[in-house]
Structure 1
Amino acid sequence: MLAVGLVVIIKVAYIATVKRDYWMDVASRLVRDSVDVKPIRGNILSCDGRLMASSLPEFRMFMDFKAGGDDNETRDSLWEAKVDSICMGLHDIFPTKTAAEFKRHLEEGRAKGSRHWPVWRGRVSYNTFSEVKQLPVFNLSANKGGFHYEKFNARQRPFGSLAKRTIGDLFGAKDTAQFGLELSYDSILRGKMGKISRQKVRSKFLDITIQDPVNGADIVTTIDVNIQDLAERALIDELKLVNGNVGVAVVMEVKTGDIKAIVNMTKCADGEYYEIKNSAVSDLLEPGSVFKTASLMVALDDGVVDTTYTVDTGSGIWDMYGAKMRDHNWHRGGYQVLTLPQTLEYSSNIGVSRIIDKYYGKNPEKFVQGLNRIGIREDLKLPIVGYAPPRIRMPKKNSRGQYVNWSKTALPWMSIGYETQVPPISTLTFYNAIANNGTMMRPRFVKAVEKDGQVIQEFPPQVIKQRICKEKTLREIQTILEHVVSQGLGKKAGSPSFKVAGKTGTAQISKGLSGYKSGTMNYLLSFVGFFPADAPRYSCIVCIQKPGLPASSGFSALVFHNIAEGIMAQSLKLDVADARDSLSIFIPEVKSGDLVAADYVLKYLGIDAYKNWSLSPTDGHPIWGKAEWSPKKMTLEHKPACADNEVPDVTGMGARDAVYALERRGVKVKIYGRGKVTHQSLPPGHRIRKGDRCTLKLEI
């Protein structure tokens, strides 16, 4: 016993000294220290808590054709027996690639003896990954079958491209923020990395946690999904109608400065409109006539004029220090003599510029100081990468008292929105202050940070200027802006249901060094205002850039009208009992589709419908079926749903249910007409392939 013990001690000493370096090298190959563990990125939520961006797992799938050793006969025989079944299964999951193509691809990897051969080139969702993992061989452990994967936290937007440029995106391969709120609040959303130590025991690595990852927090934005969708549809419809190149629409809540919707559309090479650039905060263009409100506010606030002041605009053309200034109706003889309010109502270039030139021509510094005072030059310091503050230059003199950056024509043209650069968001903030009784609010995009359902940080509304002008000036400007819509050039923005106030604007867009005379002219058409004018709740700006004529600010005013009426309609509180009419048919006609929704409405109308189902949609999914209607009886008949890879029968459905039923299966849909579906181009039961499109014809 003593001799054995002595031998053990000597051996231990030998290993610990002479062989120490060798065994330390072996240990280093079996242990990996400080391996990063990525946290889950926080969500971006709408103002009412709906997901606008979220991290969901995605997977890349690989095969190790040497799993279990180089001479594994069991593995090879199993692969040869199941390879055809595997390839057929992959074809069913990825129909764009045939089973034969899958087999050639996998056999190539097997011939090369690859240990990391991609089963599919791109990332797949968890559901697709789960289907692949059920296939033969792939359902074995990585050590036996060779199927293994890499997991990523991919960013998904449940509402698609809605507010994409403001919400932001990630570089997919790096999982790093690109732009928008994703980039501005990256430190909050990202969380903190964790650390693990990985030690190899036999043929497996065991993970030993050193530091747990800290998942990112959620940010709650001010975006209202319903208003955002409404504004986007209204703007795109008009852009297509007038062949616009760029369109911007921003909706702000008057009291808080909350941005409820922000749309930035650019026409791309395929003729469709996408969010490419956040033009609302970054476009530095000459604003045009919407700037006239600021000019006259300075004059009224300084007391150099009042609302009874009159100005001669002549026949619509006026010489301004050798340059010709024109009103939009110069070819019809102009406006002659106008009162100060009428210069805004009819958007007279000559009227506004003559007033400003008369009282500030010899002291332009005072005018620009007035612009500072009312807040139109304010740097809003927005948390959006790419934001550009307004550029309105201040006159400067040299030592001899001569202006070095100023000319006699600068002030007249500046007063009507040229020789300045103001992004749409700054113009809207100024008009929002007018609606908010003179208090200027900083535009707010994020109102809170949440973690595990608890608010951990709030971003309250911020006041930039408590008062932008005198009370008397404010009331006069509010009244004039209301008259612009009720009796001036902004009538298209008005509504018979509520009062609207605002200002139209049309500006030529200079083409850099080519100036304003370089062939086809581009125009910036704007309307900015607030509603309801007597108790403002929302302010809104719409800007459309388009080439050539016709170029009317009425295009933007019409978009404003559609947005305003849509928002106000969402606020209506109606009693469902008012829907009953003693002179009409008592039982309304019901379209096929989601029977749960139909049954819900019928119950609240006090109408009992015969049903052949008693299912409870506790999982939130609709119950599909047909509605059989007669003036005295309503039958809601449940029909079994078709397979997810087959086209369903959507005839008789409304547009909403039909589009949902098709697009959830990956089919792109185009709709013509209105009412209910009477024809579908892809027949029911058609096996769905990637890229399939279905045209629906609707009739009343």
Structure 2
Amino acid sequence: MKSNHFAIKLILIAFAFLLVGGLVGYKLVEIQFIEGDKYRKIASDKTIRNYKIKPIRGNIYSTDGSLLATSVTKYDIYFDTKVVDDKIFNNGLEKLSHQLTQISKKSQDELYNYIINARKNGNRYLSIFKGISRNEVEKIKKFSIFKNGLIKGGLIVNKRVSREYPLGKIAERTIGYERLNSQGFFSGVGLEHGFGTLLRGKDGFEIQRKIYNGQWKSLDNENKKEPINGYDIVTTIDSEIQDIVHDYLLEQTEKFQADHSSAIVMEVETGNIKAISNFGITDDSKYYEKLNYAVGESIEPGSTFKLAAIAAALEDQVIDTTTLVDTEKGELNYYGYKVRDSRKGGYGKIDVMDVIRLSSNTGIVKIIDSVYKNDSKKFSDRLYNFGIYEKVQESIKGEPNPKIPHPSDKNWNGLSLPWMSYGYGLSMTPLQILTFYNSIANDGEMVGPKFIYSYKKPGSTNEVVYEKRILKKSIFSKKTNNILKQMLYDVVNHENGTAKNIKSDYLKLSGKTGTTQVDYASDDINYISSFVGYFPANNPKYSCIVVINKPNKTFGYYGSSVAAPVFKKIAEKIQSKSPLIKLHTKNELFDKLKLTSNSDDKKIKIDNNKIDS
């Protein structure tokens, strides 16, 4: 009985083994033949990848050849401390620690202890160096332990490309940046983003195999596609002029403890932007290129818009240079709102030329309101005809449209016309204001601001040059243009000009001051101080605008004392670096801008009647 029982047990055990073996065999057959492709794909997916090869982003240059932005290959070094054999590690660590001091700022003892502790903790990705050069990598490969490579020496070399800006913070916001977000879209600011499609290039790809500890190796394959590197672009920026603008604007912004500021220098004939700087304040009262205020911030232009208002009236022939206006006591009342001149008591009776020279608020308001109050559409239409209602450039994203009120607007009211005449109730960016003034310097031709001169393939001498952009061939008559030039000349060089304090002994300057109230609806009124003009006055080469927002009022806030001196310093420094004119005698200087009087000019006198409230 016992032997039979034992035999049955053996049979059952044997059957169980056969059953299990059969099941295992079946599973092996299933994996190998039935679902083999599936599992081979899973294994392959973990060890083989289709890898994108990134192109080298194009360089950005200044027009004088300085490098503004470039892509630099950097290397990060890591140490797999666990993989190294005890004998190699113990015999080589002291020497390795000493050799690393050739590159590291740490001492030999610090490095020795750093690596020892990492090995004790089983660290397989210990950071040794970040952002080193190719030459330094080749040197490290010969160091003790590391000379054994990845598998025996634990040396991990990661290659990456970083974007560097050799001029540092200068024109930082205009040069800009571009990033690829997690959704696969590019975002950024400045020229880097505006011309991203040219700079980026096109990805290549190759097949790679995973070899060890997260490292991948390229496989030789016929399907490898090389990347196409990005184009190099040459900007219109002149690095010397950019330095000048940067330094003087920063100096004045700090001096007046302003909230933010901007300045632009444009080449009159071409519209080429030679320099552009912006400064905003940090929480710890430091200044840096926070935003591109020059291109992207809309402001009420204030008194710098008076010239556009006068230009409209001159073009419509409703005033001439002899038109008189009574500024009365320097204060007017419009619908319960007061318009005041900066000079208490006013200027008495003055002509149109003096309205601009003295920057009289009451004068400009009375003139424009009197001649256009029955046809305000004519005034707005004339301003629109000047081309100042549209964006002026496309290179840098984020430029807002100018806001020029029109009687067809829903919110047009009795204050709109007088307020517009001296630059309130409308908005323009500093670049848009400068573009208008540049047109005057350019004899009426409005050219679009240009940031890029050309682009080309890396290493190529064939470049694609961007043409001058003419926005409007002539925005007003030659006669009106000459009158406007004389007005701007007088602002600086006449004894009554609001910017007589910046009259230069080295070259003649022309321009217009602006002092704009902001936050005027609150109890704490602040100001925007501005100056816009061109130089040399008799043969304009460059136009320039300086805008300083919310200077500390205890130090000053008038455009003449805050912004205009920066304009003068910029102009004189450019003149000293690369003379724009020979130094003239006082009698020679302004023959080209003398006005020719026309005896047939219509004489118009503005009456003293106020608008009924």
TM-score by length of 2: 0.82
Matches of 2:261 and 2:331, distance apart in 1:
31
Q: Which amino acid aligns with 2:411?
A: N
Letter in 2 for 1:308: T
Select which of 457, 470, 477 maps to 2:477.
470
CA drift of 1:468 comes to: 0.5
Greater mean deviation of Cα atoms: 453-462 or 405-414? 453-462
**Partner amino acid for 1:304?**
V
CA separation in 1, counterparts of 2:415 and 2:169? Answer: 44
2:576 is aligned with 1:569: yes
In structure 2, what residue type is equivalent to 1:569? Answer: S
| CA deviation profile, 1:656-679 (whole Å, cap 9, x unmatched) | xxxxxxxxxxxxxxxxxxxxxxxx
**Structure 1 contact 93–131 (Cα < 8 Å) conserved:** no
**1:396-415 → structure 2 map (5 Å cutoff):** 396=408, 404-415=410-421
Aligned to 1:424: 430
Instruction: Report deviation, 1:59.
Output: 2.0
CA gap 1:366/1:103 in 2 versus in 1, 3 angstroms: farther
Instruction: Give CA deviations for 1:552-587 in whole Å, capped at 9, x if unaligned.
Output: 212211100010011112223999xxxxxxxxxxxx
> What's the CA shift string for 1:404-435, capped at 9, x where partnerless?
41222221111101111110000000000110
* 1:594-673 mapped onto 2 (5 Å cutoff): none
Q: Does 1:453 align with 2:460?
A: yes
* 2:543 counterpart SS class: strand
- Give the SS at the match of 1:448: strand
1:56 is aligned to 72
Moved more, 466-475 or 304-313: 466-475
Matched residues in 2 for 1:426 and 1:86: separation? 61
Q: Matched residues in 2 for 1:26 and 1:328: separation?
A: 80
User: Which of 100, 115, 118 is the matching residue for 1:106?
Assistant: 115
Deviation at 1:301, TM superposition (A): 0.5
SS at match of 1:210: coil
Q: CA deviation at 1:32?
A: 2.4
Where does residue 76 of structure 1 map in the other structure? Answer: 86
1:524 Cα deviation after fit: 0.5
Question: Where does residue 24 of structure 2 map in the other structure?
Answer: none
* Structure-2 change in CA distance of 1:133 and 1:264 (3 Å): farther
Q: Secondary structure at the match of 1:93?
A: coil
* Residues 92-135 of structure 1: per-residue CA shift (max 9 Å, x gap): 6343x555554454334323434333224x54454655565554
Shift of the alpha carbon at 1:388? 1.5
Contact 2:335–2:415 (Cα < 8 Å) also in 1? yes
Instruction: Give how far 1:327 is off.
Output: 0.3
Between the aligned partners of 1:220 and 1:420, the Cα distance in structure 2 is 35
Give how far 1:28 is off: 2.1
CA-CA distance at 1:357 after TM superposition? 0.5
Query: Residues 53 and 66 of structure 1: is their aligned pair in 2 closer, same or farther, counting only changes over 3 Å?
Result: same
Q: Deviations over 1:356-403 (max 9, x none)?
A: 101112322221111111122222143212221211222237xxxxxx
Matched, 1:540 2:552: no
Match of 1:484 in 2: 491
Distance in structure 1 (CA, Å) of the matches to 2:566 and 2:55: 43
**The 10-residue stretch of structure 1 (559-568 or 266-275) with the greater mean CA deviation from structure 2:** 266-275
Does the Cα contact within 8 Å between 2:391 and 2:399 map onto a contact in 1?
no
Match of 1:613 in 2: none
Select the residue among 288, 302, 310 that pairs with 1:274.
288
Kindly indicate whether the alpha-carbon contact (under 8 Å) linking 2:81 and 2:115 is maintained by their aligned counterparts in 1.
no
In 2, the alpha carbon distance for the partners of 1:85 and 1:38 equals 37
Deviations 1:168-196 (A, max 9, x none): 12459999663111111111111111111
Looking at structure 1, the residues matched to 210 and 136 of structure 2 have their Cα atoms a distance apart, in angstroms, of 31
Alignment of 1:19-418 (within 5 A): 21=37, 24-25=40-41, 28=44, 32-67=48-83, 75-90=85-100, 93-95=103-105, 97=106, 99=108, 101-120=110-129, 122-126=130-134, 129=137, 132-133=140-141, 135-171=143-179, 178-199=188-209, 205-208=217-220, 210-330=224-344, 333-396=345-408, 404-418=410-424
In 1, the alpha carbon distance for the partners of 2:216 and 2:530 equals 65
Higher RCO (CA-CA < 8 Å; seq separation 6+):
2
Partner-residue secondary structure (3-state), 1:526:
strand
Output the aligned Cα RMSD: 2.9
1:544 and 1:349 map into 2 onto residues whose CA distance is: 21
Letter aligned with residue 228 of structure 1:
Q
- How many angstroms apart in 1 are the aligned matches of 2:158 and 2:211? 21
Letter in 1 for 2:448: R
Answer whether contact 1:52 1:159 (CA < 8 A) is retained. yes
Q: Partner letter of residue 399 of structure 2?
A: Y
Q: Distance in 1 between matches of 2:37 and 2:53?
A: 30
* Residue in structure 2 matched with residue 643 of structure 1 by the alignment: none
Instruction: Tell me, in whole angstroms, the C-alpha distance in 2 between the residues paired with 1:574 and 1:281.
Output: 30
Matched-pair contact (CA < 8 Å) for 2:280–2:287: yes
The CA deviation string for residues 596-637 of structure 1, in whole angstroms up to 9 with x for no partner, is xxxxxxxxxxxxxxxxxxxxxxxxxxxxxxxxxxxxxxxxxx
**Once the two structures are superposed, what CA deviation does each residue of 1:502-537 show, in whole Å capped at 9, x if it has no partner?**
100000112xxxx53233x32100000011111111
- 1:377, 1:390 within 8 Å by CA — same for their partners in 2? yes
Quick one: distance in 1 between partners of 2:282 and 2:217? Answer: 50
* Structure 2 CA distance for aligned equivalents of residues 490 and 516 of structure 1: 28
The residue identity in structure 2 corresponding to 1:145 is G
Identity across the alignment (%): 36
Are 2:444 and 2:474, in contact at CA under 8 Å, matched by a contact in 1? yes
Give, in whole Å, the separation in 1 of the partners of 2:472 and 2:481: 14
Q: Does the 8 A contact of 2:393 with 2:450 survive in 1?
A: no
Equivalent pair of 1:374/1:469 in contact (CA under 8 Å): yes
Whole-angstrom CA distance in 1 between matches of 2:291 and 2:569: 24
Per-residue deviation, 1:58: 1.6
Distance in 2 separating the partners of 1:162 and 1:40: 23
The secondary structure found in structure 2 opposite 1:54 is strand
Indicate conservation of the 8 Å contact 2:355/2:363, yes or no.
Answer: yes
CA contact (8 A) 1:177 1:186 kept: no
Which residue matches 1:586?
Answer: none
User: Per-residue deviation at 1:239?
Assistant: 1.6
Residue-pair matches, total:
542
Q: Which runs of 5+ in 2 are unaligned?
A: 1-29, 583-613
Structure 1: gaps spanning 5 or more residues: 1-13, 398-403, 576-700
TM-score (normalised: structure 1):
0.72
Instruction: Tell me whether 1:500 sits opposite 2:509 in the alignment.
Output: yes
